[in-house]
């Protein structure tokens, strides 16, 4: 793995924030991103709402809205998402108080698994790494601009419905893929030069063309 100081500089901090930061919704957007479809609403209401499980339900709806907006899972802190939490509780659980404690890691993993299934997205690490490597290899043949390559990879992941890896992971994967492609090009170039040198050497060793002088003429 690449050391941090060796990672590619692809995006500025503002661009990283726009891509990865927790979404900030307006009041109008709340009505779109946090409105659960019937199938998920039924699942939320399938268990009795109690103080001990209210956090799991709020967390589920938060991740649903954030994933719907960004197609990645946000790192949630209820304190930093207080307005979102307040809206969810007032809309879905008006008779209950929200919890300040996140659900267990097991519940968080289960939530992400359910949402991946619902949105038909994949977070399979090996598959995503393969997609990124193949796309970088293809794009590197046409451009050396890191931002264009990065944008192309984003489009490919979105098209194939893959969860966007963390930015540091993207830096590592793009860096590794570019290094691999650079080694391939270097090897191809060396082999081409080697073949050219061999062909040139063979040509230099060829005998001179025969003239019209006959062997009989050479005897005089």
How many Cβ atoms are within 10 Å of 102's Cβ, its own excluded?
Answer: 15
pLDDT, position 198: 60
Q: What percentage of the chain reaches a pLDDT higher than 70?
A: 84
Query: End-to-end CA distance of the chain, in Å?
Result: 78
Tallying the residues shown for the chain, one arrives at 220
Instruction: Please list, residue by residue across 7-25, b when 16 or more beta carbons sit within 10 angstroms of its beta carbon and e when fewer do.
Output: bbebbeeeeeeeebebeeb
pLDDT, position 196: 56
Position of tokens 């209210």?
54
pLDDT in tens, 142-199: 998 999 999 999 999 999 999 999 999 999 999 988 888 878 877 777 766 766 566 5
Who wins on pLDDT, 189 or 53? 53
pLDDT, position 174: 93
Average pLDDT value for residue range 121-133 = 96
Mean pLDDT of the chain: 86
Closest to 18 (Cα-Cα) out of 193, 202, 167, 178? 167
* Whole-angstrom distance, CA of residue 180 vs CA of residue 14: 29
C-alpha torsion angle, residues 127, 131, 136, 138 (rounded to 10): 140
pLDDT, position 199: 57
Give Cβ neighbours of residue 121 (< 8 Å, ≥ 6 apart).
71, 161, 162, 163
pLDDT, position 157: 97
How many Cβ atoms are within 10 Å of 85's Cβ, its own excluded?
Answer: 21
* Whole-angstrom distance, CA of residue 100 vs CA of residue 90: 15
* Whole-angstrom distance, CA of residue 195 vs CA of residue 203: 12
pLDDT in tens, 198-210: 655 566 665 545 5
148, 55 Cβ separation under 8 angstroms? no
194, 160 Cβ separation under 8 angstroms? no
Q: With 60 as the cut, is the pLDDT of residue 107 above it?
A: yes
Q: With 60 as the cut, is the pLDDT of residue 109 above it?
A: yes
């Amino acid at each position: 793995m690449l050391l941090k100081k060796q990672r590619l500089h692809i995006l500025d901090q503002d661009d990283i924030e726009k891509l990865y930061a927790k979404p900030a919704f307006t009041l109008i957007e709340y009505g779109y991103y946090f409105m659960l479809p019937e199938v998920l609403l039924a699942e939320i209401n399938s268990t009795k709402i109690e103080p001990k499980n209210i956090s799991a339900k709020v967390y589920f709806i938060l991740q649903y809205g954030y994933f719907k907006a960004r197609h990645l899972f946000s790192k949630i802190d209820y304190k930093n998402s207080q307005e979102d939490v307040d809206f969810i509780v007032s809309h879905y659980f008006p008779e209950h108080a929200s919890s300040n404690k996140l659900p267990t890691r097991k519940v968080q993993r289960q939530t992400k698994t359910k949402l991946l299934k619902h949105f038909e997205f994949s977070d399979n690490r090996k598959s995503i790494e393969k997609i990124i490597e193949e796309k970088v290899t293809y794009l590197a043949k046409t451009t050396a601009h890191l931002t264009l390559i990065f944008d192309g990879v984003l489009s490919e992941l979105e098209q194939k419905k893959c969860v966007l890896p963390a930015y540091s992971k993207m830096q590592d994967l793009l860096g590794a893929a570019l290094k691999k492609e650079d080694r391939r090009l270097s090897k191809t170039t060396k082999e081409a030069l080697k073949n050219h040198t061999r062909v040139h050497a063979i040509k230099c060793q060829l005998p001179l063309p025969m003239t019209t002088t006959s062997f009989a003429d050479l005897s005089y």
